[in-house]
Each structure stands twice: as structure tokens, then as C-alpha cells.
């Protein structure tokens, strides 16, 4: 959530940044924020003045009563009664202005970093790096949704029977390969200095607002009505919320966590060939890295996180490219995001497998996540996260790119985890 003081001090910059996102009526919305804040401030002042005068008169009433000046005291009592009505009225209007202001701020996305390119959508994302050779498959090579049937390693029909579309059942070597990827990604993150945590996969409403999934992604999240809980769309949400309403000691920075969880997304309105097989699921596994930094260090951290993800892809021998997302393709809360895509040889297309993002102070302001500086003044920290990695499309690329006429070869780094070197 943007801070009103930041909006007021950087109005033109904020409007221009929201314009880069193609955020509708940016200037009108920002002006409404400032008008509401002005009303809030003036009402607060009137409330405080009336309260202060009422308190002073109450003391005077006591003095007059002691002096035997009952008539004068009764006159002042009437004034205090009128002031109490004013205080109540100002208080109610103040509460309403604060509520309206907060609701409006929740609807405003983050301001993109200056290095975020202009663009109207995903076709305007900028490729900043490409690595690895695209494999040439033999004639008759299959897409992963055919391979999983051939080798009986993932069953979509059984998942559809148990739950519904988008909830596959992993079987035999498919289940072991899935588990091996999770363990490998976790081990590499721990080696890189991340503390592993295992967070809940259900969150309350406060947590959803804290990291910005609510109200923006309300319709994309699975909801448990009785408890007012949401199933998490990513481990970012519970891990980052571990630090909601926390003042971090500067000596504890940076904070680095890794967590593995299943993730749940309704993906309402998704259809077509691009969502076949593992390309888009309602439930999937992901290893997530989360970092919290001093504002001066966060963009260097973003680069290191990208390098960590690239290292994982290189170790799996998957060709990849890195995209700097344009303003219109950024997530609601991100200030800058780099997407990592792997090439799927059988589908002849790039598949997104990771997004690494810096949210600057946007989440921290919602979370009230602060640090106390040497001058004893507190400031908001920067939060970052990245997929390291999301499994479905990684698994799809491994199956497709490593297929031979005799079976599917397992990447060398995974063999100690799987206990087998091929699926056939």
C-alpha cells in the first residue's frame, strides 16, 4: 500500500508510474486520496480542539463548584455538553474518512521502479538474458500430457474424479520425481543461506491484506467460509506475514526464508491449449524464497535472487530466458519483476517457471513491518520473493526436453534424490 505522505510529496511521479501500469484514471484517484486525507486532517484538528476545550472547561467547572459559584458552573456545563456532541460528531466523521481512505489506498497498485519498461502487456516484456541451447527432439516426440499417459506417472482423470479439473494425481516415478525436485530446491536454498520454514497453507483475512492478495485477488483464491480462511496462492503470503506488526532489529537484516507448500489458485476463466496438462493447475507445489532488506540493499538482493533461480535452471540443463516485465504486466504489488521462462521443446514455447519481485515498501506498509534506525526512528523495510521453483512447468519441461525413443532421462543432479536415472 502506498503511503499518503509519499503520494503527497511525489504526486507527479506516482501518477506517471501508475500511467506506466495503464492504471485507469490515475490522476483522479490520486487527487481523491489527497482530498480525503485533507478532510481527515482537518476533522482530526477540529476533534482535538473540541476535546481539548471540553477538558479545560471540565477542570474549570470543578474550580467554580469549590468556590461556590454554582450558576457559573452550570453555564459551563452546557458548553461542555455541546462540545461533547461536537467531539462525537467529529470522531464519527474521522472514522469514516479514515475507512474510505484506507479502502481507496488498497485499490491502488505499487509504483513501478524506473527500470521497468513501458508496455501495454506481456508482448512488451523485455528479454534481458537467454541461456542454453534449445534441444532438438526426435521425430514423433510427445508433449508432456502424452508422456505422462505413456509412462503412467500422472493421472489427470483420477484427479478429476477425486476433486475436479486441475488437481492431478502423481503416481510412482512421477510422485518420486516431484518429491525429488522439492527436496533439491530446498537443499540448494538452504545452502544459499535461507532458513527453511514450513508455514500454514490457510491464512486469515489480515494476512491476505498484508501481502496484497486482498482485495485485488479475492476472486482467484479458494475460500473456507465457516472460518473466513483462504487457501494460500503461494508460500510468500504466510512467510511474509510472519513479520506483520514487527519491528525488526537492524542487526537481524537481511532476513532470508525458504518454504515449500502446495499452492491453490482458482484460475477462473482459464481455458484453451495453453493450459493443457501441467501448464496451469488449480493445485501445484512450489518452493518459495522470501527476503526482507534495508531499502538501500533490496535491488542488489533482487539480482542475487535472480542468480539463484538461474543457477537452479542451469543445473537442470534447461534452456531459459529472463524477462523484465513491463509496467502493464506487473503484479499489483510489485515494483519490479523478472520472470524466468524455460523452453518446452515438444510444445515449442516458453513456459514461465519463476517470478522474482521487489515490492519495496508496498507490502511493508500494509504489514507495518519496520526497522528502527540508529537515530531511533523507524522506517519501512523492503520485501522480496521469488519462485525457486514452481514445479508443474519445470516438470513438464524436464519430461519433454529429456525424452528419448527409449524413455525419459532424469537430470544428473536429481538422480541422488530420485534413486533412478530414467523413466521407461
What are the binding residues for ATP?
Answer: 265-267, 352-355
Q: Give the residue numbers of the binding site.
A: 234, 265-267, 288, 352-355, 385
* Burial of residue 255, with CB atoms counted within 10 A of its CB: 0-12 exposed, 13-18 middle, 19 or more buried: buried
In terms of DSSP bridges, do strands 247-248 and 403-404 run parallel, antiparallel, or are they unpaired?
Answer: unpaired
Residue 347 and residue 128: Cα distance in Å, rounded? 23
Q: Taking the CA atoms of 161, 163, 167 and 173 in sequence, report the sign of the dihedral they define.
A: negative
Helix axis angle, 26-66 relative to 70-106, nearest 10°? 160
Q: Give the residue numbers of the binding site for L-serine.
A: 234, 265, 288, 385
Residues in Cβ contact with 287 at an 8 Å cutoff, skipping those fewer than 6 apart: 182, 185, 186, 189, 235, 258, 259, 260, 387, 388, 389, 391
Residue 262: φ, ψ to 5°: -70, 155
Distances in Å between the Cα of 389 and the Cα atoms of 23, 220, 326 are: 30, 21, 22
Please report where in the chains the cell 511521479 appears, as a residue: 13
Q: Which three cell numbers stand for residue 7?
A: 503520494
Residue 407: φ, ψ to 5°: 150, -165
Local structure of residue 381 (DSSP, 8 states): P
Beta-sheet strands, E only, within 345-406: 349-358, 370-372, 378-380, 382-390, 403-404
Residue 109, classed as helix, strand or coil, is coil
Residue 379 and residue 43: Cα distance in Å, rounded? 27
Q: Taking the CA atoms of 212, 213, 219 and 224 in sequence, report the sign of the dihedral they define.
A: negative
Amino acid at each position: 500500500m502506498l503511503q499518503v505522505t509519499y503520494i503527497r510529496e511525489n504526486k507527479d511521479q506516482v501518477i506517471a508510474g501508475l500511467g506506466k501500469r495503464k492504471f485507469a484514471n490515475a490522476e483522479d484517484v490520486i487527487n481523491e486520496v489527497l482530498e480525503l486525507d485533507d478532510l481527515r486532517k482537518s476533522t482530526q484538528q477540529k476533534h482535538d480542539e473540541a476535546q481539548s476545550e471540553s477538558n479545560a472547561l471540565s477542570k474549570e467547572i470543578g474550580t467554580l463548584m469549590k468556590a461556590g459559584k454554582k450558576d457559573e458552573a452550570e453555564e459551563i456545563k452546557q458548553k461542555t455538553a455541546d462540545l461533547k456532541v461536537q467531539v462525537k460528531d467529529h470522531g464519527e466523521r474521522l472514522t469514516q474518512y479514515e475507512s474510505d481512505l484506507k479502502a481507496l489506498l488498497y485499490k491502488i497498485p505499487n509504483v513501478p521502479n524506473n527500470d521497468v519498461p513501458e508496455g501495454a502487456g506481456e508482448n512488451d516484456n523485455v528479454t534481458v538474458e537467454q541461456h542454453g541451447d534449445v534441444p532438438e527432439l526426435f521425430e514423433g516426440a510427445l508433449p508432456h500430457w502424452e508422456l505422462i499417459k505413456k509412462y503412467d506417472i500422472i493421472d489427470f482423470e483420477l484427479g478429476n474424479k477425486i476433486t475436479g479439473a486441475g488437481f492431478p494425481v502423481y503416481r510412482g516415478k512421477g510422485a518420486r520425481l516431484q518429491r525429488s525436485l522439492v527436496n533439491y530446491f530446498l537443499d540448494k536454498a538452504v545452502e544459499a543461506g535461507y532458513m527453511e520454514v514450513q508455514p500454514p497453507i490457510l491464512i486469515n483475512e489480515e494476512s491476505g491484506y498484508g501481502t496484497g492478495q486482498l482485495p485485488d485477488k479475492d476472486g482467484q483464491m479458494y475460500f473456507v467460509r465457516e472460518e473466513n480462511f483462504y487457501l494460500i496462492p503461494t508460500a510468500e503470503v504466510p512467510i511474509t506475514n510472519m513479520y506483520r506488526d514487527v519491528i525488526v532489529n537492524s542487526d537481524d537484516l537481511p532476513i532470508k526464508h525458504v518454504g515449500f507448500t502446495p499452492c491453490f489458485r482458482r484460475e477462473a476463466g482459464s481455458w484453451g491449449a495453453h493450459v493443457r496438462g501441467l501448464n496451469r493447475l488449480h493445485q501445484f507445489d512450489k518452493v518459495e524464497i522470501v527476503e526482507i532488506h534495508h531499502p538501500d540493499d533490496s535491488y542488489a538482493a533482487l539480482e542475487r535472487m535472480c542468480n539463484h533461480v538461474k543457477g537452479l535452471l542451469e543445473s537442470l540443463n534447461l534452456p531459459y530466458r529472463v524477462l523484465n516485465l513491463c509496467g502493464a504486466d506487473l503484479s499489483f504489488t510489485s515494483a519490479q519483476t523478472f520472470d524466468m521462462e524455460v523452453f518446452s521443446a515438444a510444445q515449442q514455447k516458453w513456459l514461465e517457471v519463476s517470478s522474482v519481485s521487489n515490492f519495496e515498501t508496498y507490502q511493508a506498509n500494509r504489514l507495518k513491518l519496520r526497522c528502527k534506525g540508529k537515530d531511533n526512528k523507524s522506517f519501512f523495510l523492503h520485501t522480496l520473493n521469488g519462485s525457486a521453483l514452481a514445479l508443474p512447468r519445470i516438470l513438464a519441461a524436464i519430461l519433454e526436453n529429456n525424452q528419448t525413443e527409449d524413455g525419459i532421462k532424469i537430470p544428473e543432479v536429481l538422480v541422488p534424490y530420485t534413486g533412478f536415472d530414467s523413466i521407461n
